Amino acid sequence: MQKLSVLVFSKDDLEQALALIRDSYHIADEIVLMDASSGRQKSWIKAEKRRLGLGKLRIFDVIALGYREPLMEYALGKCANRWVLALNTDERMSAGLRRVLPALLNTSEYDAYSIPLYSVWSKSNRTFVSTQVRLFKKGSVEFRGLLHEKPIVHGKFRVLQREESIEHMTTGMRHTAKEEYLEMERFERFTYAQHNLRLIDQIDRARGRETGGEVRFSAGKRAVLGLLRLYEALGLKSPEQEISNLDYYLFRLARTAAHQARRRSLRGMLSALPDAARYSRRMKEWRSGRSGDEDFEIAREINRMGVTRYLGLDDPKVVEALGRKYRGKKQGAGLLIHLLRLRYSDSDKKRKDRKINNLVIREK
């Protein structure tokens, strides 16, 4: 029997985390809790671990960066077992997923599974959200730390049946979590070359097809890509130029409509228009802001490298040093934005220094 690590991130929601831990305790061989909560809550969960005798639970203090993906590679390094199931504190395994889990772990055919995610409003009311790669072998999945990330699967994967699902038990995203996601959208900016790949990915999402995080080109997709490039050529747009406010609007509209079409939600599809308008207004504001040009250059880099590599968060020493440096200070998306800008200003200074040195050498 292959062993399973359940991986959970928590920030000031440790009562929900404890409920998840107890719900999955007899299924998991270990539960790894990456905790970014305040000091008082940290003490509480450790006391509960002792009181309840939760020997399988391993708790690690971690810095809060607004969302979990930048720290996924670090967290996976803390998991002792070959298979990992990543869950949020407000999620539970369905009865169908529990039933098939032993068979999934013991097959050698697949390296990862994409699991249907449902929002549960009541016992008789649940709505499909998406499918997400949540169960995988360590080393078979790459997390780049991007917002709304589809991790890259290096190997063979399968999409589970709808009854073999993860159930999201709350009625909506916490206000603070939503604010942090909106803050990070300032770096969700693209060149036309990056934008085209993302639009192609929406075709697969709308058709309910999983690609394991990599864009795979068919004849139809190549034709769509050709039309997109023709549109850019007619508008005298460079592949490395940032897309326009109108194109941001159309991109968001396509993404939201594709998502809602997959959910088969007419109301959701109608909401795509005002949602895209709000998104494009935010983008226009960020682009024209004082740090707009710098933020676009950062966005280019993290689209190319990923947040994790850009900040060195795949190195445990870096993550732990940041945890010590910012302990007791304000964290979350604001800290991540600060670190991204700090990293960019450092690399920009080095580029300028190199240019100055080259000028000095040429003058000599």
Residues in the chain: 364
Check residue 225 and give its pLDDT: 85
Tokens for 171, please give them.
């009625």
Give the phi and the psi of residue 194 in degrees, each rounded to 5. Answer: -70, -40
Check residue 353 and give its pLDDT: 55
Work out the average pLDDT over 126-145.
92
% of the chain residues with pLDDT over 70:
88
pLDDT tens figures, 203-237: 666 555 555 556 566 777 788 888 888 988 888 89
CB atoms within 10 A of CB 47: 10
Report the mean per-residue pLDDT for the chain: 87
Verdict on whether the full-model pTM lies above 0.85: yes
Collect all residues with Cβ–Cβ distance below 8 Å to 232 and sequence separation of at least 6. Answer: 192, 238, 239
Check residue 352 and give its pLDDT: 54
Collect all residues with Cβ–Cβ distance below 8 Å to 287 and sequence separation of at least 6. Answer: 189, 242, 245, 296
Check residue 246 and give its pLDDT: 93
Tokens for 40, please give them.
């008082």
pLDDT at 182 over 90: no
- Domains belonging to the chain, first-starting first, are 4-181 (3.90.550.10), 190-279 (no CATH)
pLDDT at 94 over 60: yes
